[in-house]
Chain A
Amino acid sequence: MSKEDYEVVIGLEVHSELSTKTKIFCSCPTEFGGEPNTHCCPVCMAMPGALPVLNKRVVEYAIKAGLATNCSIAHVSKNDRKNYFYPDLPKSYQISQFDMPLCTEGYVEIETKDGPKKIRLVRIHIEEDAGKLNHDEYGRGSLVDLNRAGVPLIEIVSEPDMRSTEEVDSYLKKLKSILEYIEVSDCKMQEGSLRADVNVSVRKKGAKEFGTRTEMKNMNSFRSITRAIEYEAQRQIEVLENGGKIEQETLRWDEVSGKTFSMRDKEDAQDYRYFPEPDLAIINISDEMIDDIRKSLPEMPESRRERYVKELGLPEYDSNILTSSKYLSDLFENATKVCNNPKAVSNWIMTDITRILNEEEKEPNEIPFTAEQLGELVTLIDKGTISSKIAKQVLEELFKNPKSPQDIIKEKGWIQISDESAIKEVVLKILEANPQSIVDYKAGRDRALGYLVGQAMKETKGKANPQMLNKMFLEELNK
């Protein structure tokens, strides 16, 4: 038996921080960063006697996420206490939802090499985030910062429907894009606003029963999730092939060694003794509220993609990439409004902008310039004010020091030379310096023309209008 005889089965529990202004049970700000314990109050610090009050927007955002992922929305829902001890959890229980979550039974559709596939969702529920443990300078103690304690999260639990790391990757990307589209989460991985618990098991191909699964908690990059699943599936296959048994346990993924490790001391930890949160009221959700939220949902990626292909004539592939992120899609649409040239905007995003983002290892939402500035750049090319070669330099500049492209080209003296007499002057100068090229051209070597245009561009530091150069060289050569 070899690796090919096995199938890997993966389920994810994705935690996403909601982008509300305040925490889930108190009015403290959720803003990232800040000096330790400055976004805190007696409620999120769990002072005795302090009582939680639920943030209405958290409920709305969770329902929004549920509707965007085809879930049923509960009419009656409640909060429960999940009990465990850890120093980042000041109450020694997390307020979460146990048996009556806000959303149940949805799905997210992903693209796979065998066509579209539905990844089913078990549920989406609301809960509070924990604080952060820091280590002190001398390694003698730990320091507790509760700024993140009480930040609202939704937990999106999938069925074990994924069969490869590629499917996991598409699922996560799709989920991230949905949450960004409906504007309930920033999904900033580096700030931990999207994290996943990953369940992995393996079974022989064709087997009906699932194998025993292991769980890796709190993974916060797509790359480590993929690496961890690959390592863990291989490890399980090896254990089984050697006649061993998989233990159901929680594992720790170590990024540096690229291995998973057992956390055996947490044996009892699964016994959370959930019970109804007596400090919070029951949540009743009316059909009217659900309808209102449904109406507030923005146009989703599928519909935008279709519009790009049908109405704007963009290739399917480009439309897929553009709509993969709400940020890119908005950038595209708003820049197009300025310059009215969707194909050009799409090309800039697909090629140079994507290349620079990759080089700088940045996400689309970190693009420093505005859609209006991109639109202006395309207009400047369309009007012939700058060549596309200069436009590339302007784009580099927009990434470094974003401001109006008009101002950039003025400051840098990059305005294209389209003045006929100025172009003619350059053409005559280049012809005089290159008599051999004239001979070559007349002998039928067309390449000579390209060479002459190149020389003229060099002479003008790329600022001459290439179409005009071409035309004028031809005129002179054919005289």
Chain B
Amino acid sequence: MQVSKEEILHIANLACLNIKEEEIEEYRKNLQDILNFANIVNSVNTDNISETIGSTSNVNVFREDEINEFKDEALLLENAPDKENNMFKIPKVL
């Protein structure tokens, strides 16, 4: 399995990462190794095993529709780098 430089740049762009030209090869190799490992897992014979679609064996873990308000409002914005009127202040979004 080959991962191209273009794919790395595309994925970096989607993840909002700025990677340097000299880093591209390293990421390309790492990602390729991960995908190749996934291919090893894929090659395991699963003929008589039923399909799983989730990451745990839990099924139907639900909450009842009952309000339980979080009391410590101040705590929620405590680590905000900047705030105004009890809102997170961020660089201007158009």
A residues within 8 Å of B by Cβ?
A: 20-22, 27-29, 35-42, 45, 47, 53-59, 76, 78, 83, 85, 87, 100, 133-136, 139-145, 268, 271, 273, 276, 278, 280-284
Contacts and interface: CB of A to CB of B under 8 A. Distances in A.
Nearest to B11: A273
Given A36-B86, A78-B53, A134-B87, A22 B61 contact: no
Interface stretch (B29-37, B41-49, B67-75): B67-75
B65 A57 contact: yes
A100 B53 contact: yes
Interface residues of B, number: 35
Q: Which of B16, B60, B76, B87 has the most CB of A within 10 A?
A: B87
In this complex, the member of B61, B73, B88, B92 whose beta carbon has the largest number of chain A beta carbons within 10 angstroms is B88
B40 interface: no
Given A142-B92, A142-B93, A278-B55, A56 B64 contact: yes
A240 to B, nearest CB: 31
A283 B88 CA distance: 34
Contact of B63 (A29, A53, A78, A139): A53
Interface string B1-43: 0000000001001101000000000000000000000000000
Q: Is the interface of B mostly helix, strand, loop or mixed?
A: loop
B44 to A, nearest CB: 19
Contacts of B73: 37-38, 40
A281 B56 contact: yes
Given A56-B65, A281-B60, A141 B92 contact: yes
A20 B56 CA distance: 27
B55 A139 contact: no
Nearest to A278: B55
Contacts of B90: 87, 141-144
B89 A143 contact: yes
A57 B64 CA distance: 7
B54 A45 contact: no
Given A37-B76, A42-B76, A54 B62 contact: yes
A81 to B, nearest CB: 12
Given A100-B53, A144-B88, A268-B14, A283 B60 contact: yes
Contacts of A59: 62
Contacts of A278: 54-56
Given A142-B91, A143-B89, A284 B60 contact: yes
Contacts of B91: 141-142
Contact of A21 (B10, B14, B67, B87): B67
Nearest to A83: B14
A58 B63 CA distance: 10
A27 B10 contact: no
Nearest to B56: A281
B38 to A, nearest CB: 13
A181 B18 CA distance: 51
Given A42-B70, A56-B62, 7 more contacts: A39-B69, A142-B90, A142-B93, A143-B88, A268-B13, A281-B54, A284-B60
A40 B86 contact: no
Given A27-B68, A35-B86, A281-B54, A55 B62 contact: yes
A140 B92 contact: yes
A6 to B, nearest CB: 34
B87 A36 contact: yes
Q: Which 7 A-B pairs have the closest CB atoms?
A: A41-B70, A27-B68, A143-B87, A56-B62, A281-B58, A57-B65, A278-B55
